[in-house]
Amino acid sequence: MHVDNLKQMLNLTKDAALNKVLITIVSILVLALFISFFRIVHTGFAFHYAVHVVIALVLVVLYLARNKIRTKIKGIIFLLILFTMAVSGLFSFGLYSFAYAYFIPATAIAFLYFNRRTGWNFTIICLLIILIAGYLFRVGILQYVPESGFMETNIMWFNMIMTIALVSIAMTMFWNNMYSMLTDTFEHIINQQVKMKKMNAELIVARDKAEESDRLKTSFLRNISHEIRTPLNIIIGFSGVMSETKDPETIKKYNEAIWENSDNILKIINDIVDFSEIETNTFSVNKQKFNINPLLVKLEKDFQNKLGQKPISLHVEKMDFEICSDKSRLEQVLYNLLDNALKFTSDGTIKLNVQHDENSIHFSVSDTGIGLAPNEFEKIFMRFYKVNTFSNGAGLGLSISRSIARMLGGEIKLESELQKGSVFTLAMPLT
């Protein structure tokens, strides 16, 4: 936990405690003034009572401005008030006054709101003042002689009891506030420690993800150079030998190889561009109403051409149905799912099935390929991730497809079993 945060928490808690003590002292002083009026008959309007009135006015002002004064300034004012009350009572009435009991909370404030050195110095000063006052009364420099019988009056005993009670209440409130302050502070420390542990755990996870991302990026750069260089070499090589042959069948094969590898390069470049736009939040979708049947027919035709002589059966379910979405983006996602199925299926069947209900439409691409282990279900959608590092592609197709699906308000889910195949289901809203 940062030291500044802890200091700020301590200051806020001490400030709240001082506000409570302020209310308590104001209440005590009001009662003390009320009691003092009973003593005026016997003592006259002594200096001590005048001090009480002035302090009462200071406390009222302090209470009204309690939220505008800094904690340390407020502590100094409290210290001076209690000190003044104790000294004025001590020098007005000597040992007949219990006002010196205010030295106790004043000393506690000096210790807790300032520092140990200040607390000890203030304690010594208080003891010296009591000794000096006692000596001055002893030698007759200060005098206070109560009227005969005053010490036995009910008012005096009531005053003694109330003074002791009020000081006890002040001390109780003070230490209770100190306890609350310390409790709140330690709770805050514990909470901060828990938050730091949680933050550290999150940072470790983030670090691991960053390291994994960095590893995948390195792998991506290594793979992408291969993915681009290999088809370019084929294109350049076949383009060169085409001029040296006049056999139509050979030229046709060369043209097919050039077209296939050009298409691979174009797809890689498109994936990189789309990925860059998604990462920078510049990827856009344009929804409009269209019939999905022509799109399904086009996908079937494109992939029948890609199958060539492979022992794979392709089935694309047709459906005359209208939805509101981005046609080109939907085609891109379905193309990626079918291309992924074709990439990992050497023989068997690839199917594209379509179902819909009142609110959504579901496109399911299933294959009889190599399948996936459960621990790869989420990894397969990570950017740059490739199940087989020797397979074609940049490892961006499925990541881009899921991002596009979510931008269109849909989601892609995966079901798979090793050596039995996979099913990718794209769920999309109708509007």
**Per mean pLDDT, which range of 333-342, 348-357, 392-401 is the poorest?**
392-401
Whether the per-residue pLDDT at 386 is higher than 80: the answer is no
List, as one string, the DSSP characters of 143-163: ---PPTTGGGSHHHHHHHHHH
> Whole-angstrom Cα distance, residue 133 to residue 111?
24
Domain 288-429 coded CATH 3.40.50.10470: no
Work out the average pLDDT over 197-203.
88
Strand (E) or helix (H) holding 194: helix 154-242
User: Distance of CA 56 to CAs 16, 27, 31, 264, Å?
Assistant: 21, 10, 11, 89
For 19-35, the pLDDT digits (tens) are 666 566 556 656 665 65
Whether the per-residue pLDDT at 1 is higher than 50: the answer is no
Q: Would you place residue 321 in the very low, low, confident or very high pLDDT band (cuts 50, 70, 90)?
A: very high
From first CA to last CA, the distance across the chain in angstroms is 50
What pLDDT sits at residue 28? 60
Output phi, psi for 141, to 5 deg. -65, -45
Work out the average pLDDT over 96-117.
71
At 373, which amino acid appears?
A: A
At the top level of CATH, the class of 200-279 is mainly alpha
Number of separate helices (H) and strands (E) present in the chain = 10, 7
Count CA within 13 A, CB hemisphere, residue 175.
9
For 274-284, the pLDDT digits (tens) are 877 887 788 88
Strand (E) or helix (H) holding 365: strand 360-367
Residue 368 DSSP label: -
What pLDDT sits at residue 245? 81
Is the dihedral angle over the CA atoms 165, 168, 173, 176 positive or is it negative? negative
Mean of pLDDT over the chain:
76
Whether the per-residue pLDDT at 130 is higher than 70: the answer is yes
> Where are the chain's structural domains?
3-193, 200-279, 288-429
Q: Higher confidence at residue 143 or residue 396? A: 396
200-279 and 288-429 agree in CATH topology: no
Work out the average pLDDT over 246-272.
82
Cβ neighbours around 411 below 10 Å, total: 12
Count CA within 13 A, CB hemisphere, residue 114.
20
Using an 8 Å Cβ cutoff, are 114 and 179 in contact?
Answer: no
> Whole-angstrom Cα distance, residue 370 to residue 348?
11
What pLDDT sits at residue 326? 92
Using an 8 Å Cβ cutoff, are 48 and 99 in contact?
Answer: yes
Using an 8 Å Cβ cutoff, are 428 and 410 in contact?
Answer: yes
